[in-house]
Amino acid sequence: MGRPWKLSFISAIASFAMTGLAAAEVVYHRGNAGEPKTLDQHQTSIDVEKNVLKDLYEGLVAYNPKGEIIPGVAESWSIGGDGTVYTFKLRDAGKWSNGDPVKASDFVYSFRRIMNPATAAKYANLLYPIKNAEKVNKGELKPEELGVKAADDKTLVITLERPTPYFLELLQHQTGLPLHQASVEKFGKDFVKPGNLVSNGAYLLAENVPNDHIKLTKNPNYWNAKSVQIDTVFFYPTEDNAAAVRRFMAGELDTNYQFPIDQLPFLREKLGAQVRTPPYLALEYYAINVTKPPFNDPRVRKALSMAVDRDYLAEKVWGGAALPAYNIVPPGLNGYALADVDYKSLSQLDREDQAKALLKEAGYGPGGKPLKIEIRYNTNESHKKTATAVADMWKTVLGAEVTLLNTDVKTHYAHLQNRGDFDVARAGWVADYSDPQNFLFLGLSNNRVGNYSQYNSAAFDAAMAKSDVTIDPAERMKVLRTAEDTMMKDGPIIPLLNRASLHLVSNRVKGWVDNVQNDHRSQDLRIER
């Protein structure tokens, strides 16, 4: 190999990590795309935190490698009270890394903590379906009044405000991971530091050097420890993903999350099946300002949407790391039939013909009033290329005058959320839980922050409200579907693409399964060196 440094590097790490273990220790070098902002599951908000937290902790339920809900700490559960009472039976073998048993009261403590306004948890609202949760989070009720009770050490009862068919999906989110009450109370804010942190998952926290690495070692007290094959996991915050690709190619990383989309064809050629680009629940879209002429005219909005050649965007601009999207809800959600978009079945040329006709009808474009459009986007290579391509399409097909405007990400979203003036703006949404509601709520008229288009439809709002009180899952999906139909007809947004999650997975790594949830626990993997 001619790489003496590498051997010494690996052996140095290995010998460092080995504390009396056999020589066959398995180390996993995992590129994690960014620095976790926190290892406190109640402060967490992003996926790189999820990857670490789900290795450290186990919730009541979890995802298997395929992204299906499986029992976690809870070995079984039953649903009663017309879908409003969940009773979880906890495993007898469940233990914390310090040997304490995992008790129902740990979950009670944990849910109360996330709802406590003093915790200021970023994703507290995700668990608002729990009875009294919103009131507790607003400080109107005491945390003790939250609808989470421990019937005994191994039985947890969660009462909901109303039936929430996707509740188990919410529980698998990293905010649903339990906390070890004694250590949190003892160390306060410092409970997340190595040596203090007590976890109940497959791993425990050995080191945390910000911007360098996080080291996890196998938790011998984990109930399923015997099936955990990897002994040590190093998470690296590989923020410069082009550099991370080079490190992966040199064998320094076993897997890496995220790579530059521009390089996809090159990487496919060099690395073959080690490049993984499964679609996930992520929507890339353009919001149209429906309050401003000419964009308040649905015909203009539809024309703009039809003139976008999504196949080109998906294949060329995103190099196949995305699929064309016509709906606000991405495909892949169980039991949900996507709304029909009438022009989806047309060829692109026919779409363009109809788009021109629609625009003419509305009085714009060649022969009518000039159509001026400014596309706002946050600075990013992919967004720039997308905007460049869309501008070119609107220019050549519709004869529009298109300008681009980029700002840094905070300025961009602050502008949109503060209702700043814009024509068309780039936005994206990644699902927090696998349910159509998690996409459709973007169109609610009372969604002050996320409804950038300022879409306001009584019919849509009514359908969404109805879905909240519909208990039968199949019936509920139908109601949501009518909501999506309404929204797609009005077209306040232009769905562009469903993004793929981007991973490099070395051939050495076994057991990696692509899934739409983009959820990959180290404990499900093996490494063959």
Bridge partners (DSSP) of residue 273 are none
Q: What's the closest the beta carbon of residue 280 comes to other proteins, in angstroms? A: 14
Host H or E run for residue 406: strand 401-407
To other proteins, the closest distance from the beta carbon of 1 in angstroms equals: 7
Kindly report whether the peptide bond that precedes residue 492 is cis, defined as omega within 30 degrees of 0: no
- Radius of gyration (Cα) for the chain, nearest Å? 25
> How is the chain split among helix, strand and coil, in percent rounded to 5?
40, 20, 40
Nearer residue to other proteins within complex by CB, 266 or 474:
266
Least distance CB 282 / other proteins (angstroms): 11
Q: Shortest gap between Cβ of 223 and other proteins (angstroms)?
A: 27
Q: Which helix (H) or strand (E) holds 403?
A: strand 401-407
Cβ 38 to other proteins shortest distance, Å: 4
CB of 298 to other proteins, least distance (A): 26
- Give the chain's end-to-end CA distance (angstroms, integer): 15
Q: Nearer Cβ to other proteins, position 75 or 315?
A: 315
- For other proteins, give the closer residue by CB, 1 or 23: 1
Answer yes or no: are the C-beta atoms of 219 and 204 closer than 8 Å: yes
Characterize the bridge pairing of strands 372-378 and 401-407. Answer: parallel
Query: How far from 293 is each of 16, 90, 290, 296, 423, CA to CA, in Å?
Result: 65, 58, 8, 5, 9
Cα 328–Cα 334–Cα 337 angle in degrees, nearest 5: 50
Whole-number Å distance between alpha carbons of 443 and 449: 11
Task: Name the amino acid, one letter, at 304.
Answer: L
- Nearest residue (CB) to other proteins, 157 versus 249: 249
Nearer to other proteins, 194 or 368 (CB): 194
DSSP 110-141: HHHHHHSGGG--TTGGGGTTBTTHHHHHHTSS
- Of the pair 389, 513, the CB lying nearest other proteins is at 389
CB of 91 to other proteins, least distance (A): 29
Rounded least distance, CB 234 to other proteins, Å: 10
Q: Name which of 301 and 415 has its Cβ closer to other proteins.
A: 415
- DSSP letter, residue 160: B
Whichever of 222 and 394 has its CB closer to other proteins, that residue is 394
